[in-house]
A and B are shown apart, each in its own frame.
Chain A
Amino acid sequence: MSNFFKNSEIDISKAEKIVSETLKNCDDGELYLEDTKSEVIVLDDNKIKSSDYSTDLGYGFRAVTGEIIAYSHSNEISEKSLVNSSQNLKSSLKNKKGTYNYEIKNTNQKFYGDTDPVEEKSLKSKIDILNEINSYARSKDSSVKQVTANFIGEKKNVEILRAGGQLLKDERPLVRFNVSIMVEKNGKKETGVYGVGGRQSYDVYLNDDNWKKVCDEAFRIATTNLDSKPSPAGEMKVVLGPGWPAILIHEAVGHGLEGDFNRKKTSVFHNLVGQKVASDGVTIIDDGTLDKRRGSLNIDDEGTPTEKTVLIENGILKNFMQDRLNARLMNTKSTGNGRRESYKHIVMPRMRNTIMLNGNETQEEMIKSVDKGIFAVSFGGGQVDITSGKFVFNCTEAYEINNGKIGSPLKGATLIGDGPSSLKEILMVGNDMKLDPGIGTCGKAGQGVPVGVGQPSLLIDKMTVGGTKI
């Protein structure tokens, strides 16, 4: 049973007729229905700055033939609106002929519960805990001058109605809890930011005072940076810590392995399947099936069950990440990576949880082996240019390494490198694989989707560090 036609003047059988009729001469397509409610509560500058609740209901109607995607979306789930969209799609694809691919596997796999983070707790209880967080963070030290904390909760219900009447459904909870602390000492200001999240209830973070650990970590990062000195500039060895620094893998390699860039031959990896693209011992997967993780999905936004996709195995490029369109054009199967930000957006191949698996070395050995270099513990944002392979990251916590020992914290360090070459410059892979705390949002072509990353510690032979000290 569909939930979307209950309060609408159009019933599902009528909608199905329009969908089937519109798509009968197309290769693929569907009616994607989405109902999202979300809540953002922000504490800032000692006050509850905002409490916003929003609901968003709409559909996206897609028709695909050959390489061409026609898309129409609207907030009005009515017969009139669907017929309008249908006409719009047909006119975009007139003179094109395709054969509809009915095959999509049904699945019962479930990697998260039916939790509703927006309704499970009263607004009052969330406000109370934010105020408690504020007092706790400010009481940590007199250097704490500013605290911002927020809860972002979302419940997204998705239904996919395909030609022929197949109906696929998913209910997706998502929460995120973030704390930012600014400290000031001797006229110097620094911020530390830490957050956690996943497809689960807020309870995980709120029970047993788990939220205190989030505040402690934000405070620790801010304080560490108070003692930081200008970062050196130039090429040097880099040790990456485990967990969140894997966004380097996400940017440097992940995007380049998305099906669309490779079908279009704009990725540096497009003709390298089966070839050695990384050092021995480097295995990278993209996994949509991890329990309650931010990047996990039961089915992707085309209805394909997600899976664990091996991208690089022991240095050899194995697979790209595919949605249905790019898979069809490249004569392969969708890997369940077809995602969209919302019903307002077209599907593209996107990452889920992208992870480098464990090797055998220890972080200690890596640091010991470096004469002069940097140890990057956490990053802010990153970005990549798929075509040239160049990527960049801003370190939010980094230290110098001198003669095998960790030295002073560094400020303002940026790392820049080349995706394909950095993979080959991985000298050691650690045995301490960690997943990130659940805070990643990946942007591509203006669409943001929640993702996860993970990796063990890594030693990279040389990367360019951008600082102010030569």
Chain B
Amino acid sequence: MIKEENYLKKIAETCLTQSKKLGSSDASVVVMNAISENVNIRNKQLDGSERSDNLAVTLTTYIGKKKASISSSNLNEKNISKLVNRCVEATKITPEDEHNSLPEKELHYMGDKELELYDETHLDNEKKIDFIKEAEEYAFESDKIVNTNGSGFSENKSNFILANSNGFMDGYKTSQFTAYCEVVSKSNGSMERDYEYTTKRFFSDLLKPETIGRNAAKYAINKLNPKKIKSEKISIIFDKRISKNFLTNFAGAISSSAIAKGTTFLKDKINNQVFNKSINIIDRGNIIKGNGSRYFDSEGVKVDNLELVKDGVLKDYLIDSYNGKKINRKSNGRSSGTTNLYFENGELSFEDLIKSEKKIIYVNETIGRGANLITGDYSVGASGTMIENGEFMYPVSEITIAGNFNEMFQNITLANDLEFKYSTNSPTILITGMTVGGK
């Protein structure tokens, strides 16, 4: 069973009291318990089961503008005393940094917990196995599916308390259910793999096994017998599971730490036309049952809803207390990163988007981390399907796609098929003028 609030609070209080006694002027502490249970199957047979029960305490102590942190998984009292002591001693010899401090009290979250982030449902392992086995059974309906790379189901529950010496003490339980199915297709000597994946706060909101299995099979079969194509300048449509990565890159480029250090191609671009006029980007923490929803960030600061980009113009950054001080802005509750980040829907339907040009490459898989946030250069390996006159023609693989975010962001057209599948979500997007490297 997941540890209850009182147990976590007691440890948090001990840490705060002891740090004060040892001479720290301020302190903050997180005490966390997370339990996860996974089952993995392969070819419809159980492959493994795993149960993990994690405890962790992370303490940060301040002496004036000096700061140090410790963390540990060993919550026995003697060990905690030792660690608090070590943390305060480390604080004493760490140089001052004028921007170190707890967040202002008035930014603390003080509200209800109405977002429905915890589902009590517990599935015993046999139920988990049945669920994911059924997904594989649907995937194997096609005779081109010859193997699985493994499919799995996991149930995660966690509870935590965050407390600081300014009187903040709050926490809440969250849950996350995840299922995936990854299958291998084979035909004429070509072997490919692909997957479907679903993750939700509530068990009942997961994709059904039938959808998971059939989608995984369909994707893997669509990739069979790919062609290599010639290098050319061409428009690319990014499937939703790829297009969301552009938002992740964008978020990295507008984090207050990157802005403060100048290590981003979006430095000094606030109020500039960073995207074309059709683009709006929102980061919204209070979506009911949202995968990325939270009440407050890792400093206890309330999570504002942010309109990061309005009509293509950059309006805001992702700000925490420390880096906020460096750029003269108050924290907007993003010390743990983004929450539910998304592009608002565009105008075109998916069908109209794929017809919008004569020849387009539809990319549904990229490999490599090819984004350089300092220069905005983007270059990854990719595979997908060639679209001609709105028809999906043949799979392509072993290509590279390259561009620079400064231009790519201006050349985005969004479809209107946004759904909240992950915590960062995008509709299908088309980007014109990209360079494809092939033969």
A residues neighboring B (CB under 8 Å): 44-45, 47-58, 67-76, 85, 88, 91-92, 122-124, 127, 131, 145-146, 182, 184, 188-191, 231, 233-235, 264-266, 268, 344, 346, 380-388, 390-394, 411-414, 416-418, 464-470
Contact = CB atoms under 8 A, between A and B. Distances in A.
Nearest to B403: A468
B379 A383 contact: no
21 contacts: A48-B94, A50-B69, A51-B69, A53-B71, A68-B49, A70-B48, A71-B49, A92-B49, A146-B263, A189-B374, A191-B374, A233-B402, A233-B438, A266-B193, A344-B52, A383-B381, A390-B367, A392-B380, A416-B437, A464-B400, A466-B437
Q: Is chain A's interface secondary structure helix, strand, loop, or mixed overall? A: strand
B380 A381 contact: no
Contacts of A45: 260-261, 326
Interface of B: 42, 45-55, 67-75, 79, 83, 86-87, 90, 93-95, 97, 125, 147, 149, 184, 191-193, 223, 228, 231-233, 260-263, 326, 367-370, 372, 374-375, 377-381, 383, 397-404, 435-439
A54 B437 contact: no
A49 B98 CA distance: 11
A233 B435 contact: yes
Given A190-B374, A233-B402, A414-B370, A470 B435 contact: yes
Contacts of B374: 182, 189-191
Contacts of B369: 380-381, 383, 394
Given A47-B95, A416-B381, A467-B402, A75 B437 contact: no
Q: Is chain B's interface secondary structure helix, strand, loop, or mixed overall? A: strand
A91 B49 CA distance: 10
B381 A72 contact: no
Given A71-B48, A412-B372, A466-B400, A48 B437 contact: no
A234 B230 CA distance: 8
A386 to B, nearest CB: 8
A464 B367 CA distance: 14
Nearest to B435: A468
B94 to A, nearest CB: 5
B184 A414 contact: no
Contacts of B69: 50-53
A181 B399 CA distance: 31
B379 A467 contact: yes
A234 B438 contact: yes
A74 B398 CA distance: 43
Contacts of B260: 45
**Most chain A CB inside 10 Å of its own CB: which residue of B125, B149, B377, B379:** B379
B51 A392 contact: no
Given A190-B375, A388-B192, A56 B261 contact: no
Contacts of A127: 93-95
Contacts of A411: 375, 377
Contact of B47 (A68, A234, A382, A413): A68
Contact of B68 (A51, A56, A190): A51
Given A51-B90, A414-B400, 6 more contacts: A50-B68, A53-B86, A71-B48, A416-B437, A464-B437, A468-B379
A74 B37 CA distance: 12
B368 A123 contact: no
